Amino acid sequence: MAHAVRALWPLGRALAWRLGDRPALGLHAQSRAGFTGAAGGSGPAATARKGGPRLLGAAALALGGALGLYHTARWHLRTQDLRAERSATQLSLSSHLQLTLYQYKTCPFCSKVRAFLDFHALPYQVVEVNPVRRAEIKFSSYRKVPIVMAQEGESLQQLNDSSVIISALKTYLVSGQPLADIITYYPPMKAVNDQGKEVTEFCNKYWLMLDEKEAQRMYGGKEARTEEMKWRQWADDWLVHLISPNVYRTPAEALASFDYIVKEGNFGTVEGAMAKYMGAAAMYFISKRLKRRHHLRDDVREDLYEAANKWVAAVGKDRPFMGGQKPNLADLAVYGVLRVMEGLEAFDDLMRHTHIQPWYLRVEKAIAEAPQ
């Protein structure tokens, strides 16, 4: 059962943390690995109560930016001549890709990727992975989901990690560079987490590999690019950590959450029944531990509401989305993470007690209206 529970989102991730799997990256891990870094709890909500992680987060962001700039420059010099020829074909790029998404439907990282693919009208096939046996991803040495397999002509690429998948595909859509080249700019890095365990992270994962012209066209200025990176990282490093403590807050909520996970997921009948009751019980207790680990309040809803309102304040009143007239990658990431709570009490509470609903519905609509 422990194995079943470990592989399941949100429970699987929670148990991964419990088992010391989480890349809670200290300075040591970051300097060893030199990656953009998921500095634990470095988002605005966390930094209100924690000064150190804020500095780490800023340092990680700056480091990622510097690495990204370096890679962008290197790549720009190499491909300058090809660029002009490619621009004419960019519109049809998405039709050159055949994508397969390996996922757990209720995993927030997978939901982020789907939000991205749907908004960009990129067709894809879904393989729902059985969280107990994970046979569907046996081919992969990277053992988490989401994974995207991307076939571009003769070339088949495996993209790991939600943020890498999104950054690589967005770079592809904007620049037209071959995906095989793009993914070399997001190399995996081994790091050591705060429990001394080796974990895999990815360099530059919030950075798009664009030349100056493309970046200008896409963002209009440096601030918009930095803002998008910052809030994408916040969604991964802070917002995601609020999900489990909120959806497993009480025994009844834990049971409802598992009911939903089992219904949506790829479980055998016995596995499903076991996961529902044993998983709900396990997660109810584990979520208390997560609450302490992430320094959440006694009433974890308070943290969720605060995060949502911070996000709404960051979007502001003068634009429908953080991306302006259309969602950017941060809008899609925050939406994707929150969406996994739909249908649960935590989601209804969130809509009722914060100002996030109008923005949330706008993103939902923008995705629904994407040309199919």
Ligand X SMILES: N[C@@H](CCC(=O)N[C@@H](CS)C(=O)NCC(=O)O)C(=O)O
Residues assigned a catalytic role: 104, 107, 109-110
Q: Tell me the closest approach of the beta carbon of residue 243 to ligand X, in angstroms.
A: 10
Q: Looking at the DSSP assignment, which residues form a beta bridge with residue 99?
A: 124, 150
Burial class (CB in 10 A: 0-12, 13-18, 19+), 280: buried
Q: Please, which residue, 7 or 60, has the CB nearer to ligand X?
A: 7
Q: Please, which residue, 50 or 134, has the CB nearer to ligand X?
A: 134
b/e sequence 15-48, b meaning 16+ C-beta within 10 Å:
bbbbeebbbbbbeebbeebebbbbbbbbbbbbbe
Residues within the interface to ligand X (CB under 6 A): 6-7, 9, 12-13, 16, 104, 107, 109, 143-146, 161-163
Q: Please, which residue, 37 or 176, has the CB nearer to ligand X?
A: 37
Q: Tell me the closest approach of the beta carbon of residue 163 to ligand X, in angstroms.
A: 5
Q: Please, which residue, 75 or 202, has the CB nearer to ligand X?
A: 202
Q: 3-class DSSP state for residue 13?
A: helix
Q: Please, which residue, 103 or 354, has the CB nearer to ligand X?
A: 103
Within 8 A by CB and 6+ apart from 214, the residues are 174, 175
Do residues 94 and 121 lie in contact, with contact meaning Cβ atoms separated by under 8 Å?
yes
Q: Please, which residue, 199 or 312, has the CB nearer to ligand X?
A: 199
Q: Tell me the closest approach of the beta carbon of residue 217 to ligand X, in angstroms.
A: 27
d(CA 343, CA 340): 9
Diameter over CA atoms, the chain: 61
**DSSP designation for 43:** S
Within 8 A by CB and 6+ apart from 280, the residues are 248, 251, 254, 255, 257, 258
What is the residue whose two structure tokens read 């490619």?
A: 86
User: How far are the Cα atoms of 99, 146, 336 from residue 118, in angstroms, in the given order?
Assistant: 12, 15, 11
Q: Tell me the closest approach of the beta carbon of residue 155 to ligand X, in angstroms.
A: 22
